[in-house]
């Protein structure tokens, strides 16, 4: 099982898609151009502080709102290793899997960590923090297949001979 | 075991006799809709990422430009050009500037019992005609466009039994904002919100669309009103036949059942920055909150009954000098009907700016964007932080009547306060 350790950034409940990437920046040509504005209505400095391999920890209903796929793409472009939230809005959840962004659901860790802490994640098994272990469930196989391929388009390329 | 409306629609689309919650099924999509919010991204992936791209069935796909119409800068003009050219090259039906995508889908396409994917979160609207509409991102849309199919996990269903009728001056908008306030912005996450009972059947198709459209703001995958003769009539009037009028079986399983007496619903004002930040107008009006801008429009609340309600309130009155009053009819058909009824004249005489039919102020780009610390009261879909402009600006949500009254008074209030 894949295992990784990262520094956490802690966000609250109902982090919506318009916070993750505000409408006014959607017209920028690429996600690379947009990523500096990630989370800007809430924390304008955050996108510049996130480093590769960091982990976002949040509360309930992460990603609620619009179907804009730039939301998970921004998080991926900021090289966030995974998001751990109490729950996710469903369109965001699908869009994240389709873009190869790992999402983990856990109801306890947000209340336990503080920003800057390190946590260790063992996929499909647990999160470790300060000597405590929090169990995590594994995703259904069809979703893990898409994630492992690196997203739905790459999974399509590998399948059927239709596209590759 | 019995099935709910949504389960029956998924079973039909999956070609199986029975489905149950949490099953994962491959489904054939009856229709797909994409708008100018993300179609250019789908086109880029189609052209650049797939080696042998093809479209499964062009006749099931509809492209609608409604988010930045007409284009307001060179970037959106380029995105539009890409969408327009792709539609032309592939024989895909394209609408440009004829209205908000969900209103056009209702007028021209949706049939009961269909499973429809739209690359827009408010695709849940189609449940007003007994269809299963759900929002997806542009990658899911691409997959559907190329294969004609997708996968779904069968959601559980929440049942809302509605009883009686809304009182005069209370609207479907107040009802759904009340329900979202009760169950919360994640109260229906990954679930179907099914509406039935005599109260649901008393609602017009336009009112049912208000209900289903906003179910996504409670996290729902779909919102569906049990279809009836009104649905069959609507389809007939729009040149379509209602074939699959599914109802839930008596022994269908619901994750929860809620009862609402419509006569008890009151006018609502949702405070910033969350759609479940529910308050009653009778409490908020006491605060005399000044507004800089008022918007009536959107896929939620820009239809003829909404414009009519606003016109009744502002007739013979003038917009407060401190207020910008913006109105965008949900579609050109709505616009034409409102013109014929004299509604547009009444609104303009009161000082309203009438915009072309598009997403307008609701989506925080293109038209009527609000500045630092400004306050908007809107019939739009969302009041997220910065949704309509500057991150420090505030958005309140209310019915068209409440918004219209606030435009006249310059503070948040109802028609009886004028």
CB contact under 8 A, B121 and A157: no
Tell me the C-alpha distance between B123 and A53, whole Å. Answer: 35
Domains in chain B (CATH in brackets) are: 5-263 (3.30.499.10), 281-417 (3.30.499.10)
Q: pTM for the whole thing? A: 0.95
In the block, which residue shows the tokens 């649901």?
Answer: B200
CB A10 within 8 A of CB A57: yes
Position A162 scores a pLDDT of 47
Which residue from B120, B139, B217 is facing A153, i.e. has the nearest CB? B139
- Interface contact A137, partner B, CB < 8 A: no
pLDDT at residue number A157? 80
A22 inside 8 A of chain B by CB: yes
Output the CA angle A20-A22-A25, nearest 5 degrees.
115
The answer, yes or no, to whether residue A161 has pLDDT greater than 50, is: no
Is it the case that residue A1 has pLDDT exceeding 80?
no
Chain A residues touching B147 at Cβ < 8 A: 162
% pLDDT > 70, chain A:
96
Looking at the predicted structure, is the pLDDT value of residue A163 above 80?
no
Residues from chain A contacting residue B53 (CB–CB below 8 Å): 163
pLDDT of residue A29: 84
The DSSP annotation for B162-196 comes to EES-PPTT--HHHHHHHHHHHH-TTTTTTEEEEEE
Strands in B256-261's sheet, in edge-to-edge order, are B222-225, B191-196, B156-163, B256-261
Distances from the Cα of B381 to the Cαs of B20, B364, B377, in angstroms? 31, 11, 11
| Chain B residues inside the 8 Å CB shell of A26 | 37, 365
* DSSP summary character for residue B2: B
- Sorted by sequence, the CB contacts under 8 Å of residue B82 that are 6+ apart come out as B39, B40, B43, B44
Residue B135, chain A, CB below 8 Å: the answer is: yes
B393 in Cβ contact with B418 (< 8 Å): no
Closest among B35, B29, B4 to B15, alpha carbons compared: B29
CA distance B186 to B184: 5
Decide: A12 and A59 in contact? Cβ < 8 Å.
Answer: yes
Q: Is B185 on the interface with A (CB under 8 A)?
A: yes
Query: End-to-end alpha-carbon separation of chain B, Å?
Result: 55
Window 256-285 of B: residues touching A by CB (8 A cutoff) are 274
Q: Is A150 on the interface with B (CB under 8 A)?
A: no
User: What does the alpha-carbon distance between residue B116 and residue B133 come to, in Å, rounded to a whole number?
Assistant: 5
Greater pLDDT, A156 or A105: A105
Q: CA B300, CA B272: separation in Å to the nearest integer?
A: 18
pLDDT single digits (tens) B360-411: 999 988 899 999 999 999 999 999 999 999 999 999 999 999 999 999 999 9
Residue A105: pLDDT band by 50, 70, 90 thresholds? very high
ipTM exceeds 0.85, yes or no: yes
Q: Where are the domains of chain A?
A: 3-138
CATH homologous superfamily of A3-138: Aconitase, domain 4 (3.20.19.10)
Using the Cβ of A156 and the Cβ atoms of chain B, whether some distance falls under 8 Å is answered with yes
Chain B CB within 8 Å of residue A99 CB: yes
Best B33, B53, B137 residue to mutate vs chain A (most A CBs within 10 Å): B137
How far, in Å, are A27, B189, B283, B402, B405 from residue B414 at the CA level?
37, 32, 11, 5, 5
Residue ranges in chain B modelled with pLDDT below 70: none
Cross-chain Cβ contact A16/B384 below 8 Å? yes
Which of A68, A88, A156 is nearest residue B37 as measured by Cβ atoms?
A68
3-state SS class at B270: strand
Q: In which band, very low, low, confident or very high, does the pLDDT at A160 lie, cut at 50, 70 and 90?
A: low
Q: Is B41 on the interface with A (CB under 8 A)?
A: yes
Give residue-wise pLDDT tens across range A53-98: 999 999 999 999 999 999 999 999 999 999 999 999 999 999 999 9
Q: In this complex, is the C-beta atom of A61 within 8 Å of any C-beta atom belonging to chain B?
A: yes
Among candidates B111, B116, B119, which has minimal Cα distance to B141? Answer: B119
φ/ψ (deg, to 5) at A80: -70, 135
φ/ψ of residue B37, rounded to 5: -65, -40
- pLDDT category at A156 given cuts 50, 70, 90 is confident
Query: Which letter does DSSP use for residue B68 in this model?
Result: S
């Amino acid at each position: 099982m894949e295992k990784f350790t990262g520094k956490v950034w802690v966000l609250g409940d109902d982090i919506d898609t318009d916070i993750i990437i505000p409408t006014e920046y959607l017209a920028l040509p690429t996600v690379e151009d947009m990523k500096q504005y990630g989370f800007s209505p809430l924390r304008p400095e955050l996108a510049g502080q996130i480093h590769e391999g960091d982990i976002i920890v949040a509360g309930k209903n992460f990603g609620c709102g619009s179907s804009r796929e730039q939301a998970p793409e921004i998080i991926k472009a900021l090289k966030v290793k995974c998001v751990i939230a109490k729950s996710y809005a469903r369109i965001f959840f699908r869009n994240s899997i389709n873009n190869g962004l790992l999402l983990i659901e856990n109801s306890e860790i947000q209340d336990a960590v503080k920003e800057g802490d390190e946590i260790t994640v063992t996929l499909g098994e647990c999160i470790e923090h300060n000597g405590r272990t929090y169990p995590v469930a594994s995703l259904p196989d069809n979703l893990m297949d898409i994630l492992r391929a690196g997203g739905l388009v790459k999974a399509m390329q590998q399948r059927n001979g239709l596209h590759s | 075991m019995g099935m709910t409306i949504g389960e029956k629609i998924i079973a039909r689309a999956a070609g199986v006799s029975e489905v149950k919650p949490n099953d994962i099924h491959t489904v054939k999509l009856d229709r797909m809709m994409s708008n100018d919010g993300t179609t250019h991204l789908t086109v880029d992936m189609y052209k650049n990422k797939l080696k042998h791209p093809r479209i499964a069935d062009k006749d099931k796909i509809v492209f609608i430009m409604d988010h930045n119409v007409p284009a307001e800068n060179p970037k959106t003009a380029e995105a539009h050009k890409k969408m327009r050219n792709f539609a032309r090259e592939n024989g895909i039906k394209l609408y440009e500037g004829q209205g908000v995508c969900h209103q056009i889908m209702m007028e021209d396409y949706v049939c009961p019992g269909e499973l429809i994917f739209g690359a827009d979160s408010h695709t849940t609207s189609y449940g007003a005609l007994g269809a299963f509409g759900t929002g997806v991102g542009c990658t899911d849309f691409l997959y559907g466009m190329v294969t004609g199919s997708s996968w779904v996990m069968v959601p559980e269903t929440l049942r809302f039994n509605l009883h009686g009728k809304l009182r005069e001056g209370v609207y479907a908008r107040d009802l759904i904002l009340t329900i979202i306030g009760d169950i919360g912005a994640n109260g229906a996450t990954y679930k179907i919100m099914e509406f039935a009972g005599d109260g649901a059947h008393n609602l017009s198709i336009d009112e049912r669309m208000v209900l289903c459209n906003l179910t996504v703001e409670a996290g729902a995958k779909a919102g569906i009103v049990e279809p009836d003769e009104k649905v069959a009539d609507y389809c007939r009037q729009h040149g379509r036949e209602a074939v699959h009028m599914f109802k839930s079986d008596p022994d269908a399983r619901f994750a929860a059942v809620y009862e609402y007496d419509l006569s008890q619903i009151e006018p609502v004002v949702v405070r910033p920055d969350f759609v479940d930040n529910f308050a009653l107008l009778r409490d908020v009006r006491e605060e005399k909150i000044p507004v800089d801008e008022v918007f009536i429009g959107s896929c939620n609340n820009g239809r003829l009954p909404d414009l009519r309600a606003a016109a009744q309130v502002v007739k013979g009155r003038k917009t407060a000098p401190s207020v910008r009053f913006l109105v965008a009819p949900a579609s050109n058909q709505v616009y034409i009907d409102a013109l014929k009824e004299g509604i547009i004249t009444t609104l303009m005489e009161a000082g309203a700016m009438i915009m072309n039919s598009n997403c307008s102020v609701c989506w925080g780009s293109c038209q009527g964007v609000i500045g630092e610390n400004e306050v908007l009261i809107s019939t739009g879909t969302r009041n997220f932080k910065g949704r309509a402009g500057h991150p420090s600006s505030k958005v309140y949500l209310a019915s068209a009547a409440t918004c219209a009254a606030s435009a006249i008074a310059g503070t948040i209030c109802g028609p009886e306060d004028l």
